Structure 1
Amino acid sequence: MANPIFRQKLATGEFFVVPGIQDMITAVIANKVGFDLVYGTGYWLTASASGLPDAGIATYTDMRDRMATLVRTSTAAVIADGDTGYGGLLNVHHTVRGYEQAGVTAIQIEDQEFPKKCGHTPGRRVIPMEDMAEKIRVAADAREDKENFLIIARTDARESEGMDATLRRLEAYAKAGADVLFPEALTSEEEMRRACAAFDKPVMANMSNGGYSPVPHTTVLAEIGYAYAIYPSLTSLAAAAAMEKALVDLKEQGIGQPEDLFSFNEFCSLIGFEDVWAFEKKWAR
């Protein structure tokens, strides 16, 4: 059974935030900080695990395994990036079943042509609206937990077809059975307000640092009318900046023990070494 926390939080009508997770180090730090939900981001899980761009190169099997590892590691419920469903209708059915069996709470499916591209890079192309609506109908039918496993429908039509077409697509996806609507890469707060005002269903925001969309304060996002926002790139870009600084300091200044490092002993505890030590103490011969 999917974790009901996502459905329950949406039902309250109170805005919430969901951090993106790019690797299991991030997952255990998010555990420490405390979140009810985390986002398994396709872009950053692919970058961290394979050193490859989010361009449809990672396979369904790759991503399902990464999501299953995230579910095992995280104490929060996982919203999972399912790309395009990795193919046609049969692939969508297989993807939804596989992700649900992996333990995620929701799957996000987008209307790009396969192979897809990151939603904040140029040259994205979308499939016909009715083809995507059919994918959503298949996804909604494929899930076993009809109440708690949620379907998020994303459209990337803003770049190629404009805002009016984006809203028409989301309306079709809502009618097809999507639980949450995801207009990707909106370019202004005005567009965000239009999207939120157009639907009774929850609308989510993608706060991709450095992307096409503005990243206002969470109080503004709540006032605009979003149900929640994901922050897929926040931890990855913060970590990359910190790692670059540490490596430059090491190379140029010989500093190998900076003052602002995370505690090694605390991280050993977060990652589970205390359980290992307790086991060894119990069973040592």
Structure 2
Amino acid sequence: MTPANTLRAMLARDELITMPCCFDALSAKLIEQEGFGLTFMSGFSAAAARIGEPDLGLMSYGEVLDQARNITDAVSIPVIGDGDTGYGNAMNVKRTVRGFAKAGCAAIMIEDQVAPKRCGHTKGKEVVRRDEAFDRIRAAVDARDGGADILILARTDARHEHGLTEAIDRAAKFAELGADILFVEAPKSVDEMRTICDALPGAKMANILEGGETPDLSPAELQEIGFKIAAYPLSLMAAAMKAMVQTLQLLKAGSPRSDMLMEWPELRQRIGFDDYYEQSAPYATSRRD
């Protein structure tokens, strides 16, 4: 099955998909190794990991696509790519969707923010007019229907500026245009989350950012409300950054740091050294005597 068809099959099941988000090939491999069936390349985390900058539209289309390709090459589970605003007008959106499909992504997220976009839980967010937002999703769907083997995850950030009703109206139109998954960003209460799921058809995604505006509900609660996917965009990056800072502080102080570190044999195994040695064993030129 293609990545897109694998994701379609997952969405057809009567269960919530818990989706930790990755930021590079290694984090994606760890997600797969721990048994999760789906990941999302978080734009926030990818920008931080690749260019050391905040998620404010600073990464180019080419950089994002390259990051996505590295991730899909490293894992066998479906990967959703963050296509931001599509990097231009409707024709750019079509090219972006085709590019992510060729890179092996199972789905691509396209949103209605003004470019350059901003993280959904930070200040300064603005959305484009309805007609431009609809054109983006229409173009994305046209690219999919024109041969790109990929699902369309349509996102609206209208809740921040224009309220929940406008956000739901936009998402409903996205569904009418043919989007496969709907994402209303940053609802502020459980009641708002329930209203979104009751009002909108098809698969809906919840974005659970620890410390963000949306309530951090359990997977069971999210499924009961009606969500199909629960995304955790910063859990791995926040954990990794905390561990790295603490380790650096211990190193600077000359203190023991072994409790902070993954043991060498497990590190080698998770990165893939053992697999490499096993697969290269039949080839004499790959061995070093």
Give the TM-score, by structure 1 length: 0.94
Shift of 1:211: 1.5
Match of 1:269 in 2: 269
Task: Check conservation: 2:4, 2:107, Cα contact below 8 A.
Answer: no
Give the TM-score, by structure 2 length: 0.93
- Within 5 A, what are the aligned runs for 1:146-225? 149-225=150-226
Distance of 2:204 and 2:276 partners within structure 1:
43
Match of 1:26 in 2: 27
Distance change (3 Å), C-alpha of 1:2 and 1:23:
closer
AA aligned to 2:274 is E
Match of 1:54 in 2: 55
Partner SS state of residue 203, structure 1: strand
Shift of 1:154: 0.3
Match of 1:255 in 2: 255
Shift of 1:23: 2.2
Stretch of structure 1 that moved more, 159-168 or 126-135? 126-135
- Describe the superposition over 1:38-68 as per-residue Cα deviations: whole angstroms up to 9, x where unpaired: 1111110110011011111101100000000
Task: Check conservation: 1:126, 1:157, Cα contact below 8 A.
Answer: yes
Task: Check conservation: 2:98, 2:148, Cα contact below 8 A.
Answer: no
Stretch of structure 1 that moved more, 262-271 or 49-58? 262-271
AA aligned to 1:270 is R
Distance of 1:90 and 1:250 partners within structure 2:
51
Task: Check conservation: 2:24, 2:70, Cα contact below 8 A.
Answer: no
Task: Check conservation: 1:2, 1:100, Cα contact below 8 A.
Answer: no
Task: Check conservation: 2:186, 2:213, Cα contact below 8 A.
Answer: yes
Distance of 1:275 and 1:12 partners within structure 2:
32
Stretch of structure 1 that moved more, 158-167 or 257-266? 257-266
Task: Check conservation: 2:21, 2:39, Cα contact below 8 A.
Answer: yes
Partner SS state of residue 83, structure 1: coil
Partner SS state of residue 266, structure 2: helix
Task: Check conservation: 2:80, 2:109, Cα contact below 8 A.
Answer: yes
- Within 5 A, what are the aligned runs for 1:34-113? 34-113=35-114
- Root-mean-square deviation over aligned CA pairs: 1.8
- Describe the superposition over 1:107-151 as per-residue Cα deviations: whole angstroms up to 9, x where unpaired: 000000111111110111101112111111111111268696210
Shift of 1:6: 1.3
Distance of 1:260 and 1:247 partners within structure 2:
10
Distance of 1:71 and 1:26 partners within structure 2:
12
Distance of 1:170 and 1:43 partners within structure 2:
22
Identity %: 37
Task: Check conservation: 1:157, 1:166, Cα contact below 8 A.
Answer: yes
Match of 1:5 in 2: 6
In the alignment, structure 2 segments of 5+ residues that lack a partner are: none
Shift of 1:218: 1.0
Distance of 1:147 and 1:101 partners within structure 2:
8
